[in-house]
Amino acid sequence: MGKHLLIALLLAASLMSTGCPAVIVGAGAGAGMYTYAEGNLKRTYQAPFDQAMEAAMETMVALRMTVLQEPTGDAIKSVIKAERSDGTPVTVTLGMVSSNITEIGVRSGVVGYWDQKVSKLVHANIAQRLE
Give the CATH number of domain 38-130; options: 3.40.190.10, 3.30.70.360, 1.10.3720.10, 3.30.310.80. 3.30.310.80
What is the predicted pLDDT for the residue at 32? 61
Torsion sign over Cα 26, 77, 125, 113:
positive
Whether pLDDT at 21 is above 60: no
Select the more confidently predicted residue: 86 or 10.
86
What is the predicted pLDDT for the residue at 57? 97
The pTM assigned to this predicted structure is: 0.75
Residue burial 96-130, b: 16+ Cβ < 10 Å; e: rest: beeeeebbbbbbbbeeeebbbebbbebbebbbebb
Whether pLDDT at 129 is above 50: yes
pLDDT band at 55 (very low <50, low <70, confident <90, very high): very high
pLDDT in tens, 113-124: 889 999 999 999
Single-letter code of the amino acid located at 28: G
Query: What are the residue boundaries of the structural domains of the chain, listed by start?
Result: 38-130
